[in-house]
Structure 1
Amino acid sequence: MEASDFALLVLRLVLGLTMAAHGYNKFFGGGGIPGTAGWFDSIGMKPGLFHARVAASTELTAGLGLALGLLTPVPAAGFVALMLVAAWTVHRKNGFFIVKEGWEYNLILAVAAVAIAGIGAGRLSLDYLLFGTSGVYAFLHGWWGLLIAVVLGLAGGIGQLVIFFRPPAPAS
């Protein structure tokens, strides 16, 4: 085992389990799905119940998928879509820096996931275990992994915004 494989495992686990925790919290924390649905409605992502379920499910599955290194570009695309929607709907108006609730954190999470898709999940991953000796593995990292993560992620995020986002009217 190389140090880089261990480093990728640590990065995948921290990034993936952090995202999965956000999904878990949407399902079971505080107000659960009904509370999350009300929040989605309030930011203009309607219908809120649909988006609460989609966001919670995507955060949970993308997070676990990245942590496990399973079909890595696909969960990385989930990160891109999630973070694009969060940055646009919630954080954009606050500027860049997270200390003012800006979109800095969203950018870091999305780019880190895309970087993992480009580098590959490493030898300590399900991708390597299941596909390491097959031609499929070539599509799970490198330029293909990068392309899959970016294109699918942007398509998912932009599509969701175009179809569902209706900004609330400014308060008078």
Structure 2
Amino acid sequence: MNSFDLAMLLLRVTLGLTMAAHGYHKIFLGGRISGNAKWFESLGMRPGFLHARVAAGTEIVAGIGLAAGFFTTVAAAVFVALMLVAAWTVHRTMGFYVMTSGWEYTLVIAVSAVCVAVLGAGRISIEQLVFGGNPVDGWAGLVIAAGVGILGGVVQLALFYRPAKVAVGT
């Protein structure tokens, strides 16, 4: 193991388990899944019960996948889609900085996931064990993680984002 593999392991595990923790939180902590469903509905992600469950499950599966270095490029694309939807529905009107609930955090998570896809999971990964290396990395990793992730997020928003209409005063 060299310093690259150690750094990639640290980055993958940190990103992945952080994302998985977000999914776990949506299901078991705070307002639990019913509270998150209401929150998703209030954001304009309709139906809220569907999106709360899909988001939580996707965050857990993609997070564990990235942490383990398994289907890394696909997991990174999912991270990008999740962060694009979160940035658009929750953070975009709050400015850039995380201190004001801006989209800074979502950008860092998405770009970090894309970097993992470009560089590959490293030697300490399930991909190394199963495939003997990174099946997809480099430019292909970039195109899949960023391109498919952005497309997935845009499609989800186009199909399901229906914010409440703001009444215009007369």
TM-score by length of 2: 0.95
Match of 1:79 in 2: 79
The question of 1:157 aligning with 2:115 is answered no
Query: Which residue identity does 1:159 align to in structure 2?
Result: V
TM-score by length of 1: 0.94
Match of 1:10 in 2: 10
Q: CA deviation at 1:11?
A: 0.5
- Residues in 1 aligned to 2:87 and 2:164: alpha-carbon distance in whole angstroms: 16
Count of paired positions = 168
More deviation in 141-150 or 107-116?
141-150
Match of 1:109 in 2: 109
1:84-106 CA distances to partner (integer Å, 9 max, x unpaired)?
A: 00000110001111111100000
Query: Which residue identity does 2:145 align to in structure 1?
Result: A
Q: CA deviation at 1:34?
A: 0.7
Match of 1:170 in 2: 166
Q: Where in structure 2 are the equivalents of 1:36-55 lying within 5 Å?
A: 36-55=36-55
Which of 138, 141, 153 aligns to 1:142? It is 138
More deviation in 70-79 or 27-36?
27-36
Match of 2:122 in 1: 122
- Residues in 2 aligned to 1:28 and 1:109: alpha-carbon distance in whole angstroms: 23
The question of 1:88 aligning with 2:88 is answered yes
State the SS of the aligned residue for 1:46: coil
State the SS of the aligned residue for 2:153: helix
- Residues in 2 aligned to 1:167 and 1:41: alpha-carbon distance in whole angstroms: 8
Indicate the RMSD between aligned Cα atoms, in angstroms: 1.3
Q: CA deviation at 1:30?
A: 2.0
Query: Which residue identity does 2:143 align to in structure 1?
Result: L
Q: CA deviation at 1:169?
A: 2.8
- Residues in 1 aligned to 2:137 and 2:128: alpha-carbon distance in whole angstroms: 10
Task: List alignment gaps of at least 5 residues for structure 1.
Answer: none
- Residues in 1 aligned to 2:161 and 2:93: alpha-carbon distance in whole angstroms: 15
Q: Percent identity?
A: 58
Match of 2:21 in 1: 21
